[in-house]
């Protein structure tokens, strides 16, 4: 199965914003469910920091596409069954590795 990649820079940034929202929402849900807040899953802080770092680099203009996986993807893949938004992270990573999905032809087929 081929993963969908962002078609524009704006769409790509929006996906990263959405991932930030989702990881924060996951944290909020866990805080509500857990009585002992020191029992967060080990992946949560590094995942949130990794997504935030990606977004911060985008905002600062220091982000570059690359051929390697984003640093947080090893962790995200290891705990995929506990991360409801894992497919979004895979799409972000695919766009990072392969670039934007821009069409080479114009809409009129020229």
Cα dihedral sign, 64-14-94-69: positive
Sequence spans of domains, the chain: 9-98
Instruction: Report d(CA 69, CA 71) in Å as an integer.
Output: 6
User: Tokens standing for 94?
Assistant: 């695919």
pLDDT tens, 36-78?
556 668 899 999 999 999 999 999 999 999 999 999 999 999 9
pTM attached to this predicted model: 0.86
pLDDT tens, 76-90?
999 999 999 999 999
Pick the closest to residue 85 from 11, 27, 2 (CA basis): 27
Instruction: Report d(CA 72, CA 67) in Å as an integer.
Output: 14
């Amino acid at each position: 199965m081929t993963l969908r990649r962002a078609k524009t820079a704006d769409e790509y940034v929006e996906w990263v914003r959405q991932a930030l929202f989702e990881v924060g929402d996951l944290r909020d849900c866990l805080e509500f469910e857990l009585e002992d807040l020191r029992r967060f899953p080990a992946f949560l802080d590094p995942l949130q920091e990794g997504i935030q770092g990606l977004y911060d680099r985008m905002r600062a203009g220091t982000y570059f596409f690359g051929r390697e996986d984003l640093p947080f993807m090893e962790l995200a893949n290891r705990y995929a069954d506990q991360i409801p938004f894992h497919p979004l992270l895979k799409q972000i990573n695919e766009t990072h590795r392969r670039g934007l999905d821009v069409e080479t032809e114009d809409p009129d087929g020229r």
